[in-house]
Structure 1
């Protein structure tokens, strides 16, 4: 029997893949989106209009869910939303009951920095500093909670197909190569079912 999943970041590249694959697997999705026109409702999908920084809207999305998936991204916004949006999600989960959280950040965050090639570390510092700092704060907030969390750290994201041919785990020898958003979604949903990485930070990337 499928789960009811509260999804944040549903109209981003990874979020859209989570929607497709979760519905295909028989799950039901409650997605919080600012613009419902970007995600038409269909069987198994409930679209809730609102912003991830609006606590009331986040509460409505989380209520009744069995698990929460967070794939929030800044997508060109003036200020990153990953950390503040995640804090709203954590408060909603504490208030309304679901304990299982899977959040997507990035390789290069926290203790995965050495898994990123030096040239890309330099680029990240120059062009993505504020986003990476927000992701650091996001991870710290999740880790400080008592929830059953998993933080998924993918390598560089592409729009390629789902292949299932990727490496994942806690081994620091996994490097930040490319991986499709479809394969990241595949890993998220497999982890939701298996629970192999509770309170852990698996990397996921191509071999």
Structure 2
């Protein structure tokens, strides 16, 4: 299986890449800063921006599945929605159907799964990013693709534990989870279709 990966230089994206390579998957990763990724066997690096349809096409062409782990940081304009629209348009044009995207608990119908104090933080400091993720999810749901949206809780840089909750039950609340565990769950979706066109939480 060859995977097109968007967001490979972020914390979760690096975990997806490293764990996927260990499992024997081949990746093509789009990166604005290609030097941030190490040239290793099984990885093809494409220099470019996810908002550029030609760059996205170079990344997706010839792949079987797309994993989107786009994230925004600091004062930069959020790219989740705009980038995902380019990815979806290219996937449709090329006939690539499987899309696995990471957003966040607190988006869409998962708002009540987030503690009240964090909902306040989301409104005060993460409003633009959360709005971009909302728009991103709406684009994915309306795409006609074979999508799965993965919604993690609060991300940490801790080790993979394999001990986490996942599923679509609204009783799963947002707690801290390592990016390594999120990547583990994301990679499971490559061979498991139980969450096809669903948005499981992982926490």
Per the normalisation by structure 2, the TM-score is 0.99
CA displacement, residues 44-79 of structure 1 (integer Å, 9 cap, x when unaligned): 000000001011000110000100000000122521
Partner residue, 2:105: 107
In the TM superposition, residue 184 of structure 1 has moved relative to its aligned partner by: 0.3
Task: List runs of 5+ in structure 2 lacking aligned partners.
Answer: none
Question: Corresponding residue for 1:96?
Answer: 94
Match of 1:124 in 2: 122
Secondary structure of 1:43 counterpart: coil
* Separation of aligned partners in 2, 1:75 and 1:38: 16
- Aligned twin of 1:193: 191
Where do 5+ consecutive residues of structure 1 fail to align? none
Alignment partners' CA distance in 1, 2:186 and 2:166: 11
Task: Could you list the structure 1 runs, at least 4 aligned residues long, displaced by more than 4 angstroms after superposition.
Answer: none
Other-structure match for 2:167: 169
Distance, in Å, in 2 between the alignment partners of 1:71 and 1:35 is 16
**1:47 corresponds to:** 45
Which residue, out of 153, 172, 179, partners 2:177? Answer: 179
| Partners of 1:183 and 1:134 in 2: CA distance | 24
Q: 1:62 matched to which residue of 2?
A: 60
Query: What TM-score, normalized by structure 1, do the two folds share?
Result: 0.97
Partner of 1:147: 145
Partner of 1:36: 34
